[in-house]
Structure 1
Amino acid sequence: MERTLDRLGRTTARHPWLTLAAWVVSVLALLGVAQVSGGAFVPMLLFAVLFGLSMDYEVFLLSAVKEEYDSGHDAQRAVVVGVDSTGRLITAAAAIMTVVFLSFVPIEDTSIKMIGIGLATAVIIDVTVIRLVLGPAVLSILGSAAWRRWPGRRHPESQPAVGDHSKRQGDPTPCHF
């Protein structure tokens, strides 16, 4: 039993969207909405769609914060300016998607209802809790350490300029086929 709980905990930590999707489907089943056979694909579909949507938000938010940090602001100020410049757009996009996903609810097919309610719920949680609260909080706590050069990561100055084909010391000899 202890091994099973340990594996469940690791899965939850590594794949929070899959866990959220499973919880949403379980709650819908308790409410009587999800009492249909063949709905086993819904958690995986929710996971795939939500992963794609959340990465768009994350890249947009982090690129705005990184641009502010690179322009000379300290890390704390970069987070404030980055969230301020992207927060309204992210929230508006989430509101539009939530309304679209909730429009699936009147459809008679129970699987479509589950997908609509699951996606709407997850988008609201993702935008409010993760993207606009936890993400900026972690960046603020890390400060400039969030943007420093980590081992194994190339620094932008060490990369060749676009179109620079001159040989650098240590570059392997190119292969010609």
Structure 2
Amino acid sequence: MRKLIMWNVITLDGYFEGETNWDLSFHGLVWGKELEELSLKQLRSADMLVFGATTYLGMANYWTNAKEDEGEVAKFMNELPKIACSSTLKNADWNNSRITKDAVNEVSKLKKEGNGDMYVFGSGILSASLMKANLFDEYRLCIAPVFLGKGRRLFLEGIPNQKLNLIESKPLSTGGTLMTLIPK
């Protein structure tokens, strides 16, 4: 059975994006060799990536035009199977992609069909839907040491009360902190 894992970089005040789509400038505060190695480890364990519409379009644009120094990460991002969860997208042209209009039912079904990990990157609205359906098996967060003050929060109002167990907490040499949590 697949595990559904959320992976996000967030600010200390809970933002995963600045005021505009793809304002991820705070990622530079925590990016370094440790996060690059974690990214590769996660992608090697993945057999599917799951995105909301906005994140899918942004990731597709970025990774299909990635520079050569993105190397192995770009290879995984472009080759892994991807699900775009959207009621508005008409096309999913990024390699190995398809669209589902019913994210909760599709992800629930897909969790039962494979053995690798499924990752949700970004995708705040989708993540809230999956959290409300209690589908996440694990949360992996990198906390950037900054108060952004404005932007899009990852954890939206209306998410059900859920207790979590902290499995790992690891400081990074860049000043960020990695946290891995699972539902109790």
TM-score (norm 2): 0.24
* Structure with the largest fraction of helix: 1
Higher relative contact order (CA 8 A, sep 6+): 2
Q: Report which of the two structures shows the higher radius of gyration computed on alpha carbons.
A: 1
* Structure with the largest fraction of strand: 2
TM-score (norm 1): 0.24
